[in-house]
Homo-oligomer: A and B are copies of this chain.
Amino acid sequence: MTEKTALTPSTHTAPPARFSHGVRKGNILQVAGQVGFLPAVPGQAPTPAGPTLREQTLQTFANVKAILEEGGASWDDVMMIRVYLTDVDHFAEMNAIYNEYFADLTVAPAARTTVYVGLPAGLLIEIDALAVLD
């Protein structure tokens, strides 16, 4: 697998431009910025899982995970998680959801950077990830 391969889980909405939801080449897997969109429904615009940080964060994790798995990886292989929030006041709640989600991790957790940026209206969180496979 030294060729660059696009990772496009069937559950995902089509990217809004000529990029891939994830790519793998050799043992490197990069997940594109994911947001809390529900699984794609043909003919329907992408829809966030809900208005709350919790709903969007859990859906975003699910979307990242689907891409990792499409590429033969899992959270265990993830080296870096970039979290983009829109509001500094969401940090504590995001961390609580994060810890809950990763409670069962048995390997070293990924490194992480969290910064506060602008996102399209209605979106509260965006996450991308870099994985290195065995």
Contact = CB atoms under 8 A, between A and B. Distances in A.
Interface of A: 2, 4-6, 15-23, 25-28, 30-33, 76-77, 79-82, 84, 88, 91, 94-95, 98-99, 102-103, 105, 107-121, 126, 128, 130, 132, 134
Contacts of A33: 112-115
Copies in the complex: 3
A16 to B, nearest CB: 6
B95 A4 contact: no
A99 B28 contact: no
B120 A79 contact: no
Given A5-B108, A116-B119, A102 B20 contact: no
